[in-house]
Amino acid sequence: MRITVYLGTGGVGKTSVAAASALAQARAGHKALVLTIDPALRLRTALRLREGVLEQQVDLEPAATGELWAALLDVRATLDEAVHLYAPAALVQPILRHPIYATIADSLVGMQELMAVERIDQLARRGFENLVVDTAPSRHALEFLDKPMFFADLVSSNWVRLVGRTYKFVAGSGLASLGRKSIDFYQRVESILGANLVRQVLDFYSIFVSIAEGYAARAEKTVALLKDPAVTEFRIVTTPQKAQRDARYFVHALEQRRFRAGGLLVNRVWDLPAEGIEAPGLAGEALEWYRAVSRAHRQALDAVQREFGGRLGVIRALPELARDIDGMAALERIAPLVFP
């Protein structure tokens, strides 16, 4: 199994580069799947992605020796699938119909990151050998990895287990069976949130606990895959202006967690206009400005090459296209430039 995860700050091209990278793998003969998060509308249309559809194959013209598959990280669909796979049969419908379930997918902070790890596990089970994973823009550290680990630790903690497990017992035998401290705690929470909501939440937790605890075990397994340098490689996407800062930040964050940093893709690099072309007046000024920016991009590339060439495997420049990456034609242009 091989997993390639694309990281980066907002809007640098993670989703586009991840899709191009999966396309490159398909063209190299592999069955590759790109798991994308929130692609721009036209890219979503090009990959024929729809809410609620788990994954689908993308037609390629001309056909590739491998296959390109695409999937949206749909939090609700991933969670539904986990319920079907892991809840005891008798609990599947009570969970799916529970009023709290309808809101949990959207309201739980970090649900997207939690479900990304769950989804990787589901895809691996379905036999996808080459996964390319797009991530949401990371504001602090590697939320994509830190949140699932945190949640796994949390649900396997004794405290949460105790609350989840004792609730059924409490509901059956009344608060009197609990120690004084616990009664105070329940009552305080009830007075803030309302008894009805608290009961619903606890009720939901008590039937959901099997999924949550199973999640912890699966997340640990997936994170172990992500930590295995023979399986997973993390690539940083950035733009020339941000290249040095982003490289320092992400390389440090990856090294700290002992993840394999496999490369840096500097996206949206302007082509340097050929020397000797001159233009009069305003056009000439625009050309000069264009040259100055292009040279600055080259200098930024040289600087990251000097600083990170040794530590980062591959460093590649991807050109600024004349238009957005909005369809298969644009992906085909970028794909050969992304190392497969």
Interface with ligand ATP by CB under 6 A: which residues?
8, 10-16, 38, 40, 137, 267-268, 318, 320-321, 324-326
| Lateral strand order in the sheet of 314-319 | 56-58, 67-72, 31-36, 130-134, 2-7, 232-238, 261-269, 314-319
Which among ligand ATP, Mg ion, none contacts residue 130 (Cβ within 5 to 8 A by kind)?
Answer: none
Q: Which is nearer to ligand ATP, 75 or 95 (CB)?
A: 75
Q: Which is nearer to ligand ATP, 194 or 273 (CB)?
A: 273
Residue 18 CB, nearest approach to ligand ATP (Å): 8
Residue 288 CB, nearest approach to ligand ATP (Å): 22
Q: Which is nearer to ligand ATP, 211 or 247 (CB)?
A: 247
Q: What is the CA radius of gyration of the chain?
A: 24
Q: What is residue 197's three-state secondary structure?
A: helix
Which among Mg ion, ligand ATP, none contacts residue 11 (Cβ within 5 to 8 A by kind)?
Answer: ligand ATP
Residue 235 CB, nearest approach to ligand ATP (Å): 12
ω before 273 within 30° of 0 (cis)?
A: no
Alpha-carbon distance of 314 to 312, in angstroms, equals 6
Does residue 135 bind Mg ion (CB under 5 A)? no
The DSSP string of 24-81 is HHHHTT-EEEEEESS--HHHHHHTT--TT---EEEP-SSPPSSEEEEEE--HHHHHHH
Kindly tell me the sign of the dihedral angle through the C-alpha atoms of 125, 100, 207, 182.
positive
Which among ligand ATP, Mg ion, none contacts residue 68 (Cβ within 5 to 8 A by kind)?
Answer: none
- Residue in the structure block whose two tokens are 């390389």: 251
Query: Tell me, what DSSP letter sits at residue 262?
Result: E
Does residue 9 bind Mg ion (CB under 5 A)? no
Cβ-Cβ contacts under 8 Å for 137 (sequence gap 6 or more): 8, 9, 10, 11, 14
Q: Which is nearer to Mg ion, 15 or 222 (CB)?
A: 15
Residue 143 CB, nearest approach to ligand ATP (Å): 13
Residue 241 CB, nearest approach to Mg ion (Å): 18
Q: Which is nearer to ligand ATP, 30 or 268 (CB)?
A: 268
Alpha-carbon distance of 137 to 143, in angstroms, equals 9
Q: Which is nearer to ligand ATP, 104 or 321 (CB)?
A: 321
Does residue 15 bind Mg ion (CB under 5 A)? yes
Residues near Mg ion, by CB under 5 A: 14-15
